[in-house]
A and B are shown apart, each in its own frame.
Chain A
């Protein structure tokens, strides 16, 4: 049987629409910046992708800056907008944000993983700030109260950058509706190819480049655009309908019910979450062992954020939520099969029973 891929938050499988768009772009010789017909043909695909992102995420096409991915989009926002401002970041932000804002102050989260709005209001008093918050957490799927946070930021004259890498395509996210200043997205988390992302800006917001290069992206990001990945990202964004998440939420709920009945806990259970994501904590069972055991059983999940060597570190997200144990993240991809919950639970129960052989795990 083919392995069961349940690690969508690491990377979504390629959507067929994205594949078709990327393949079409691969056939083009032209550079989007060239003046001739070949260049114009490439430019046409690039601008189509720009339109698709702008329409999906609530800004104008002129405010879409293509990057190499979500990490660069976040780094660009923090670098360009953070100058001369205090930077405030959520405690559960992705390492891409935390590493790009080394001097930032941290905004704590509540036990369910949501931003503590009272602390944010307190922190906003004082000199102008840039606030950086994720729309949805990559490990737990917990959604921050962004509308409320945006209102607080506006009232205090603070800029708000939203890391929407995990939320995009899974829940409705609109820069205009949120009233945020900028937003980062990643192509492969939408079901596009790896290697493209975008920083979306509020209309009229100026942006200094991290890489000046040849003046591409209206001088906001130099370097020839990765056209196949970008075309695929645009098509993926157009194809990713958040209503599809309802189907995944049903599967996710079945997984959670089955695991909780056998002694597992769900991180951030009380908070609004992405429908495709659950972080399961099985007390007494190392997350690393669980991930390996499930992989050997053909079920692919992850344990928090893994570094490039594959080493699994302690989750700063769970730590910020006051959770001592580690957990495994199950994130259903857009094309999860209908028997995903059943197959997962079969493998998970076998693993749980083997782990409880020497010491009780999941004791209530």
Chain B
């Protein structure tokens, strides 16, 4: 069949294209030009640099497949970068890789694949798509270290039907690199990407300040009682749960960002014990199963790099939100994704909403 492969120029998606060619499919490669890399150069290990487009083209040449560079700069800017800055400005923690998957990648590329007469879209994501009795299911990757199912929760069921993740069953990255070497791909030893692709390392706040100047305005750092403990140089430098860079000096109990109040430009700090809670609410929910009619036990993941935790999940169909009660209290950062698992299977997810507990309530 004719398959569109999203080729980033990295080893993973290159191997995907090569495997599909080897299996006899008619492979069409596409690489997204997401932003002017001149604005974010001189960084190692991050994806989407200009070099990656050339790498993708070289791999396509090696494989003898057609390859196209798609200009998605304005789409990426609106759907991902502006959202990234706006989320900081709201005092929340953005998760741009999911926004990108949700829009530029799965929505747009699935549409393009249909337009080009393709029967599937394949990507280098580490997740498994399993044919179930009710259609395609999304499962964690075989390699727990590489699993990216968390970042794919917003893929709709229709998109999932159309997608293929050929690396989901790979035991580890070394196996992927071995395939790349066996197939003679020049990118076999290329380093993994690490950062958010459009932000040069260590300067998120500068990009955010450029797009949202209000996030760089100074303000107060206060404790739960409202007492001023210090000053900060802009809310764009902080996310909920952060313990470093507060500049409050040593001594006393270690403090973390408890809340960000964009209106008053205040950072509220507290000891860790005051940050954690058991209740969380997520909106913009995407279900990959029939939404549960009653509260159900499941595992939830509240950030990319942590293991799922036991919880009870309830779907409030009227409010279109998911209510989560954690067995053990945890930090809940608004803006991050809350992804619901049943074992290895992704049931659905949403974006965490700001805590409904206000200052007075927390202080009481």
Q: Which residues of A contact B (CB under 8 A)?
A: 288-289, 292-293, 295-296, 309-313, 354-355, 357-358
Contacts and interface: CB of A to CB of B under 8 A. Distances in A.
A293 B69 contact: no
Contacts of B69: 309-311
Given A309-B53, A311-B69, A311-B71, A296 B111 contact: no
Contacts of B318: none
Contacts of A309: 33, 50, 53, 69
A259 to B, nearest CB: 18
B116 A296 contact: yes
Contact of B71 (A288, A293, A355, A357): A288
A169 B232 CA distance: 68
27 contacts: A288-B68, A288-B70, A289-B112, A289-B115, A289-B116, A292-B28, A292-B68, A292-B112, A292-B116, A295-B66, A296-B2, A296-B28, A296-B116, A296-B117, A309-B53, A309-B69, A310-B68, A310-B69, A311-B33, A311-B69, A311-B70, A311-B71, A354-B114, A354-B115, A354-B117, A358-B111, A358-B114
A360 to B, nearest CB: 14
3 closest A-B pairs by CB: A310-B69, A311-B71, A311-B69
A26 B105 CA distance: 49
Interface size class on chain B is 10 to 19
Interface string B1-16: 0100000000000000
A296 B66 contact: yes
Nearest to B30: A292
Contacts of B57: 310
A310 B50 CA distance: 12
A295 B111 CA distance: 18
Q: Which of B2, B28, B71 has the most CB of A within 10 A?
A: B71
B72 to A, nearest CB: 9
Contact of B114 (A288, A310, A357): A357
B66 to A, nearest CB: 7
Interface of B: 2, 28, 33, 50, 53, 57, 66, 68-71, 111-112, 114-117
A324 to B, nearest CB: 14
Nearest to B117: A354
A82 B338 CA distance: 63
Contacts of B114: 354, 357-358
Contacts of B2: 296
Q: Which of A310, A312, A313, A358 has the most CB of B within 10 A?
A: A310
A333 B141 CA distance: 51
Nearest to B53: A309
Given A295-B66, A296-B28, A358-B111, A313 B116 contact: no
Contacts of A313: 71
Contacts of A296: 2, 28, 66, 116-117
B33 A293 contact: no
A119 B53 CA distance: 43
A314 to B, nearest CB: 9
A304 to B, nearest CB: 11
Nearest to B115: A289
Nearest to A313: B71
Contacts of B70: 288, 311
A56 B115 CA distance: 46
Given A289-B115, A296-B28, A312 B66 contact: no
Nearest to B118: A296
Contacts of B71: 288, 311-313
Contacts of B112: 289, 292
A309 to B, nearest CB: 5
A205 B180 CA distance: 60
A355 B116 CA distance: 8
B326 to A, nearest CB: 41
Q: Which of A295, A296, A357, A358 has the most CB of B within 10 A?
A: A296
Contacts of B111: 358
A293 B68 CA distance: 11
Contacts of A289: 112, 115-116
Nearest to A359: B111
A355 B28 CA distance: 18
Q: Which of B53, B111, B115 has the most CB of A within 10 A?
A: B115
A293 B66 contact: no
B115 A293 contact: yes
Nearest to B69: A310
Given A289-B115, A354-B114, 15 more contacts: A288-B70, A289-B112, A289-B116, A292-B112, A293-B115, A295-B66, A296-B28, A296-B117, A310-B57, A310-B68, A311-B33, A311-B70, A311-B71, A354-B115, A354-B117
Nearest to A350: B117
B293 to A, nearest CB: 32
A293 B116 contact: yes
A223 to B, nearest CB: 29
Contacts of A312: 71
A51 B28 CA distance: 47
Nearest to A297: B117
A97 B295 CA distance: 67
